[in-house]
Amino acid sequence: MIRAFMRGAPWAVPAGVLALVIATAVAWPVARRMRVPVVPVWLFLATVGGFLATTVTPSPAAGHWSWRGVTSFSVVLPSPDSLHSLNDTSVNVLLGLPLGLAAVWLAGECRRWWPLLAAVALPFVVEGAQALLPLGRSGFQLPDVLANGVVLVAGAVLGAFVVGAAALWRRRLRAVPADARPDR
């Protein structure tokens, strides 16, 4: 399963490791400058880097300039059956859920909309790059954009629940007197 994926995207893993290294090196200074916790910044940078590493790295058929334009207008949403193996659909889900979660978390921490806008724009940018650059990938796939959008929304909803639960937990913890808190 992983070998088949690696044959289709041989540069994805090295590019993903590089993305994690860059996210780790850059997260702390960026978080400090933004005055937000480092974990949501790191998660956002790592998920954006992982998304780009998986979708914009060259395939074995790279190097051929061919304008394919929009190659598909069919709308096919991910089915549970398509998530049991490592394929384009399951990879989109694996990339989109944490990106949506990270975008909501970072947007909540920095009280800005740009992480959400960046997460929504990313699938369009990726599909445009796949259509315009000689990466050996398919052209602009509207179903991929829609599937990524659905998964991003699911990740954002999950992120909203996580952020909301954390805020509720913090409020309740502040309401408990310090001498009544359990030892950590």
**pLDDT (0 to 100) of residue 33:** 94
Residue with the larger pLDDT of the pair 116 and 75: 116
Residue 136: which region, alpha, beta or left (left: phi > 0; alpha: psi -120 to 50)? left
Positive or negative, the CA dihedral 31, 35, 38, 39 is: negative
- Beta carbons of 16 and 46 less than 8 angstroms apart: no
**Residue 183 confidence (pLDDT) above 90:** no
Candidate from 9-13, 69-73, 125-129, 177-181 with smallest mean pLDDT: 69-73
Residue 63: which region, alpha, beta or left (left: phi > 0; alpha: psi -120 to 50)? left
**Residue 143 confidence (pLDDT) above 80:** no
Residue with the larger pLDDT of the pair 62 and 160: 160
Structure tokens at 34: 């933004």
The per-residue pLDDT of the chain, averaged, comes to: 78
